[in-house]
Structure formats: structure tokens, C-alpha cells
Structure 1
Amino acid sequence: MMIQKQKTLTIYALPLVLLCIPLVGNIISKEVNWSATDFLIAGVLLFSTTFLINLVRHKIKKQSHRILICVFVLIVLALIWAELAVGIFGSPFAGN
């Protein structure tokens, strides 16, 4: 069984693992073209999402509320990511 410190470390390691996917793609393929700014923005989004989910895990006692809030946070992450990538809402931050 994992102790609380190991769970927290695992949760915060997940964004690093996810950021390794485009990094490897950037290295081995010409089709993936992420700049340092792209990695920075993705890192901020992923780590802030991780922080919020970890905060919810520790502060919210009722399991159903925890799940609902975490799903909401993940949906917001997906919408922001999609807006930055392709511009589904047409904001000034929209991607190409």
C-alpha cells in the first residue's frame, strides 16, 4: 500500500510524464513542432490542474463531491487546451 507522500509524488510526476510525449515527438519527428513557450504553457496547465486535483483530494471529504469537482477541473483543462490548440471559441488566445 502506498503512503500519502508516495501518492502525492505520483500525482505530481504525471504531468512530467505527459510532457515527455511531445518532447519525444519533437525530437524524432518533424511533424511535432513545439517551442519552449508551448512546453511552458502546457506545463503550467498540467501542474495547475494537478495541484487543484490534489487540493480537492485533501480538502473535500465526501467522495461524490471529490469526483464531481475533479471531473469539472479536467473538463476545464480540456476546454482550455482545445482553445489554445485550435480555437474552438474564437478567443484572442486561439490557436491556428
Structure 2
Amino acid sequence: MAKTMDTGGRARGRWNPVLWGGAGLLLLLPLVAMQLTDEVNWTAFDFIVFGALLAVALGGWELASRRIGRRAWRVVAAIAIVAAFLLVWASLAVGL
């Protein structure tokens, strides 16, 4: 993975804009689905909650990827963040 230097002199991955852009596209998927079918019926609150969930997950990844030096520990952090994201998302989806 190619790296650039941030203002603090630490290496920063170039994948971060791709991840944030992908999250933005993921947030737009329900909006597109709402135009195509009546099966998807999200309110503004649903979009806000999903956007906040994505922001927290990717913010956690930003923090972890900048703080953790070893690749193996970054993989562990990524798995933990994805697992937490999916757990919260599933809990909200079924209304626990």
C-alpha cells in the first residue's frame, strides 16, 4: 500500500479517501432503492443513524490505522471494528 506523510510526519495510507467515498456511496444506496421499490422505506432519522454509524466506524479505523504500527494488529483492529459495526447495525435493524 502506498503511503504519504501527514502533517505530523507519520505515514498515512492512500486508501482512506476511498473508504470514506465508499461509505458515502453506501449511504446513498437506500436512497436509490427507495426510488426503485416500495420495499425500502427509510426516514431521515434512519439516514442520520446510519451515517453516524459509518462515521464512527471509519473514524475508529482512522484512529487505529494511525496509531497501530504492525500490520497484524491493524488487521485485528479492522476485524473488531467491522464486527462491532455489524453487531450494532443488526441490533438496530431488528429493534432490540
Tell me if TM exceeds 0.5.
Answer: yes
Aligned positions, number: 88
> Structure 1 residue 8: deviation in Å?
2.4
Say whether residues 1:68 and 2:83 are aligned partners. Answer: no
Relative to the length of structure 2, the TM-score reads 0.81
> Structure 1 residue 2: deviation in Å?
5.5
Higher helix share: 1
Query: Where does residue 53 of structure 2 map in the other structure?
Result: 45
Q: Report SS of the residue matched to 1:54.
A: helix
Query: Where does residue 91 of structure 2 map in the other structure?
Result: 83
> Structure 1 residue 57: deviation in Å?
1.2
**Matches of 1:8 and 1:68, distance apart in 2:** 18
Unaligned runs of 5+ in 2: 5-12
Once the two structures are superposed, residues 3-47 of structure 1 have per-residue CA deviations (whole angstroms, 9 ceiling, x without a partner) of 647532212112111011111011111110000000000000011
Say whether residues 1:20 and 2:23 are aligned partners. Answer: no
Seq. identity, %? 30
Query: Where does residue 36 of structure 1 map in the other structure?
Result: 44
Which amino acid letter does the alignment assign opposite residue 74 of structure 1? V
Higher strand share: 2
Query: Where does residue 59 of structure 1 map in the other structure?
Result: 67
Unaligned runs of 5+ in 1: 88-93
